[in-house]
Structure 1
Amino acid sequence: MKELLKKFMEFALGNGIVLIIGLISSPLITRIILPAEYGKASMFITATSLIIVIMTLGRDQAYIRYYNDEKEYNRGKLLRKSIKLPLILNLILGLILIILYKPISNMIIQEVSFTIVLLMLVHSTFSIISNFALLNIRMKQKGKIYSIFTILNKVSYLIFIVLIFTIFKNSYMTIVLATIISNVVMCGVALVYDRREWFDSKKGEELNTKTKELFKYGTPFVFSMSIIWIFQSIDKISLRMFSGYEEIGLYGGAMSIIALLNIVQGTFTTFWTPVAYEKYAKEPENTDFFIEINEIVTVIMLLISIIIIALKDIIIMFIGSEYAGAEFIFPFLVLMPIMYTISETTVMGINFSKNTKSHIYVAIISAISNVIGNLILVPKYGAKGAAISTGLAYILFFIARTYYSNKYYKVKYKLKKFWVCIIAVYILAAYSSAYKFNSIILYLTIGSLAIVLIMYRSIIINSIKKIRK
């Protein structure tokens, strides 16, 4: 456990600094970019993320799965083999998008722009490369190096926001260009750092992993991740259909707050994936390890979410008066990183057993529930309706992930107390979505904290003892 904590802290260090930078950049961006322009930038990023999901072909997940099946000197070869086809297909799709730039750009930003479609191609290309580059570092469990790259990305993003603002002012292009350029910078540095694995063309030994295996394992992820994209993007699409860029901008302002909590989510997920695979490979019968990690993560995420919901009126002051109303949007959005992060500890049975088709079922359940919820709630409640629907859909996402995982790898997670705590957090979020901070929210906050601390008192005490040692 001591070694595990050390590895986690290495990954957490960078994300801790990224969190601090995020506390600076989020208020800065929302104060210089109008909600409608922020909405257009959000639609650009949403559209590009779909391209990345489809073109990656699940090869990133296949690379993770077969990484430990290859000898260390052969893993660079596996990396190059995994990324080759996604880059080729991305280029082909990019050329098609450029030919159809008029309807594509009009659909995304409601104006004809060849530039925005070209930027989509550039962004998707470098995003695919940087995703694999960071994945390679994660799998080697080089937490300090990973932290440096995440810090570099966030710092360069903040710098380019300021520089580009002098040219494009409060236009959506400020966010779009800063996002792309900061990604290019990080990508370039990562390729130089791991240049042997990326560019060493020596033949070496034949890979144990065949192309057929990469295709078979990765392909289901194309469908599941595409459906997950629908699940995660239908809120913005619904707002685009029924409300407009102004509401998307307000929703994006609320999401910028949740993004800070996503940093905690990202820290754990980045650290956890290689550790979980390594632990399973060495001790597949040791399910107590997964139960303990699940409880620790649950406590941390629940406590953080309760505090953030309680402080919503103070937090919202930092993103500016233009985004007034976002404090009633983000309480339900807090359920996104909570349920996703905790589900990362309960979903591993699907991946261990290679039953990746189950990810499709999880995605379908989550996506359908979110589509229905958004179609019902967004026309009436706008961004708040989107938040309510998304929060509820993530609860179903957790349930589905845990159910299918336990079908293939039995772990006796202590879920009864978890659901008691989630109900308490849900009640707090529901009331906080309707009212500013008052005595009732204070009582609900204290009650929720008490429930979590009482329910998980044993794991909290044991964790404190281990940290002291």
Structure 2
Amino acid sequence: MTPTKIMQFALGPIGAAILGFATLPIITWFFNVEDLGRIAMLQVVLGFSTLFFSLGLDQSYVRDFHESKNRAKLFKTSILPGAFLLLVSLSLILIFNGLLSELVFDVKSSWLSVMVALAILSTFISRFLSLILRMHERGVAFSMSQLLPKFFLLLIIGFYVLAGANKNLENLVYAYVFAAISVSVIFSWNTRFEWSSSLSQKVDFQQLKNLLSFGLPLIWGGVAFWGLTATDKIMIRSLSTYQELGIYSVSVSFAAAATILQSVFSTVWAPTVYKWASNGESMDKVHSVTRYILLCVVIIFCLAGLFSWLVTYLLPSDYADVQWILVSCLGFPLLYTISETTVIGIGLARKTSYSMLASFLALVVNLSGNILLIPMYGASGAAISTCIAFFVFFILRTEFSIYLWNPIPRLGLYAYTSLCVFGAVVSTLYGEKVYVYIQIYWLVMLVSCLFFFKREFKSLLVVMLSKVYSLKVNGK
């Protein structure tokens, strides 16, 4: 994938992050902490529904896309089983008036249940339609489909503020559901030629069987990964209060700036590596990419540790702890991103059960950590537990990939990620007490990158200078 294509895919996450930063402070000032905690539970449910009802066939679609001679049939065969199962499940649960909203929000409401069901269905459809844009490398369309829902959410929240609308859960849910529906509508329009051509195709049951053989293990791996990312919120709800959950969800939202790296990289990485493999190209490029991603991860951790205090100027006083918690919340997107570079051997070997095992073992770590730490530290305990769990997840994925594929240099990889996790945990627990020392720690870490990654910095400098020279020559 060319740099231009990568930049096109980057527009969406970057723009969405900017709009998210504009929207989040408004929401925290306008709605109460408890309702933000309930919205966090909605996002947990949306994530689970997409992972479970996809049946792993979304991953199968990505894996077989470049090798398929009939991509329209591949798409229909991939989306249909999960869509049917999801529609049946939603129809059954909506029979029980208000049950769905009670499970999600602890509020029994038939209308809120319908809203949640619409959000679930829209998110599922968006997942599969986004894969079409991703695999066809239509970066601008993919990015706009991510950007516009955030824009709509900002417009709705802004309208609430100007109109003096009620600061209640219902209005907040309406805003998020409308954003989810808008995603699916935009994706449907941008992929209308591809999905419409699949309507006339017949499901190939032999192909479905092959797709399921790859994807089915990912159901349990997906559920385990969902648990890994959702255990913190569920356990805060069970062991603490919605106020702590609200503070935690805001911390996660600020840390979501790091998902720019995760989203862009995950979008372009898997298709690129599978294309390299199908073309018989050298896999030495993987090691080089891993070092560049490690460099990005370390820099983001350091900058967050040094400047997290800035968020206190954006939020009400109720959210003062966010500046300490968000550093550990970076563990999920950053450690997951770097694990995507080291785990590639599992995908190439088609041994997806190892991915499931890594997710399950990390889930056990996270569950144990949450049970132990949340009663003592609340949202801070959940952040620490999740950060450590994703560190374990990263190591397991790396070691399993090496076992199934090829060895990779990992001394520096493990050393720097360990130092980042250690710094994040100390910042979250004792940042206020040892503020000066933790600032020095992150600064030393940042400076050390200039020496350990000097080869990468030199390469980047050469590329930048060549671009500048090219622009000058073309300008003449």
TM over 0.5: yes
**Structure 1 residue 154 displacement after superposition:** 1.6
> What is residue 365 of structure 1 aligned with on the other side?
361
Q: AA paired with 1:428?
A: G
Q: AA paired with 2:51?
A: V
Is 1:144 the equivalent of 2:140?
A: yes
Distance 1:167 1:131 in 2: 34
Q: AA paired with 2:154?
A: L
Q: Aligned match of 1:426 in 421, 441, 449?
A: 421
Distance 2:249 2:315 in 1: 11
> What is residue 451 of structure 1 aligned with on the other side?
448
Is 1:37 the equivalent of 2:39?
A: no
**Structure 1 residue 317 displacement after superposition:** 2.3
User: SS at the partner of 1:311?
Assistant: helix
1:273/1:209 Cα in 2 relative to 1: closer, same or farther (>3 Å)? farther
Distance 1:206 1:249 in 2: 44
Note if contact 1:69-1:208 (Cα within 8 Å) is conserved in structure 2. Answer: no
Distance 1:279 1:201 in 2: 27
What TM-score, normalized by structure 2, do the two folds share?
A: 0.92
> What is residue 225 of structure 1 aligned with on the other side?
222
1:317/1:108 Cα in 2 relative to 1: closer, same or farther (>3 Å)? same
Is 1:254 the equivalent of 2:248?
A: no
User: SS at the partner of 1:287?
Assistant: coil
Is 1:186 the equivalent of 2:162?
A: no
Distance 2:425 2:357 in 1: 28
> What is residue 10 of structure 2 aligned with on the other side?
12
> What is residue 212 of structure 2 aligned with on the other side?
215
User: SS at the partner of 1:283?
Assistant: coil
Aligned residue runs from structure 1 range 24-423, under 5 A: 24-71=22-69, 74-163=70-159, 166=163, 169-200=166-197, 210-284=207-281, 286-412=282-408, 414-423=409-418
Q: AA paired with 1:432?
A: S
Note if contact 1:164-1:177 (Cα within 8 Å) is conserved in structure 2. Answer: no
Note if contact 1:41-1:173 (Cα within 8 Å) is conserved in structure 2. Answer: no
Note if contact 2:72-2:198 (Cα within 8 Å) is conserved in structure 1. Answer: no
User: SS at the partner of 2:314?
Assistant: helix
User: SS at the partner of 1:36?
Assistant: helix
Kindly report structure 1 stretches of 4+ aligned residues shifted beyond 6 Å.
204-209
**Structure 1 residue 203 displacement after superposition:** 5.4
Q: AA paired with 1:115?
A: W
Distance 1:467 1:6 in 2: 15
What is the identity percentage for the equivalent residue pairs of Structure 1 and Structure 2? 25
Distance 1:316 1:89 in 2: 45
Note if contact 2:77-2:203 (Cα within 8 Å) is conserved in structure 1. Answer: no
1:24/1:360 Cα in 2 relative to 1: closer, same or farther (>3 Å)? same
Distance 2:336 2:129 in 1: 23
Q: AA paired with 1:305?
A: F
Distance 1:202 1:380 in 2: 54
Task: Write out per-residue CA displacement over residues 44-75 of structure 1, whole angstroms, 9 at most, x where no aligned residue.
Answer: 2212322222111111101101111113xx21
User: SS at the partner of 1:394?
Assistant: helix
1:324/1:415 Cα in 2 relative to 1: closer, same or farther (>3 Å)? same
**Structure 1 residue 289 displacement after superposition:** 0.5
**Structure 1 residue 105 displacement after superposition:** 3.0
User: SS at the partner of 2:392?
Assistant: helix
1:10/1:208 Cα in 2 relative to 1: closer, same or farther (>3 Å)? farther
Greater shift, 55-64 or 402-411, is seen at 402-411
Distance 1:345 1:399 in 2: 12
What TM-score, normalized by structure 1, do the two folds share?
A: 0.93
Note if contact 1:60-1:132 (Cα within 8 Å) is conserved in structure 2. Answer: yes
Q: AA paired with 1:10?
A: Q
**Structure 1 residue 171 displacement after superposition:** 2.2
> What is residue 474 of structure 2 aligned with on the other side?
none
Q: AA paired with 1:118?
A: V
Note if contact 2:49-2:124 (Cα within 8 Å) is conserved in structure 1. Answer: no
**Structure 1 residue 4 displacement after superposition:** 3.4
Task: Write out per-residue CA displacement over residues 99-142 of structure 1, whole angstroms, 9 at most, x where no aligned residue.
Answer: 33445433322221112222222111111111111111011112
User: SS at the partner of 2:108?
Assistant: coil
Distance 1:347 1:335 in 2: 17
1:160/1:386 Cα in 2 relative to 1: closer, same or farther (>3 Å)? same
Note if contact 2:12-2:147 (Cα within 8 Å) is conserved in structure 1. Answer: yes
Distance 2:100 2:189 in 1: 34
Distance 2:8 2:459 in 1: 22
**Structure 1 residue 188 displacement after superposition:** 1.4
**Structure 1 residue 161 displacement after superposition:** 2.6
**Structure 1 residue 309 displacement after superposition:** 1.9
Which runs of 5 or more residues in structure 1 are unaligned? none
**Structure 1 residue 313 displacement after superposition:** 1.1
Note if contact 1:297-1:342 (Cα within 8 Å) is conserved in structure 2. Answer: yes
1:101/1:299 Cα in 2 relative to 1: closer, same or farther (>3 Å)? farther
**RMSD of aligned C-alpha atoms?**
2.1
Task: Write out per-residue CA displacement over residues 25-47 of structure 1, whole angstroms, 9 at most, x where no aligned residue.
Answer: 12122221211110111112212
Which runs of 5 or more residues in structure 2 are unaligned? 467-476
**Structure 1 residue 290 displacement after superposition:** 0.3
Q: AA paired with 2:426?
A: Y
**Structure 1 residue 263 displacement after superposition:** 2.3
Task: Write out per-residue CA displacement over residues 3-40 of structure 1, whole angstroms, 9 at most, x where no aligned residue.
Answer: 63332222123322222212211212222121111011
1:157/1:13 Cα in 2 relative to 1: closer, same or farther (>3 Å)? same
Note if contact 2:332-2:390 (Cα within 8 Å) is conserved in structure 1. Answer: yes
Distance 2:228 2:435 in 1: 33
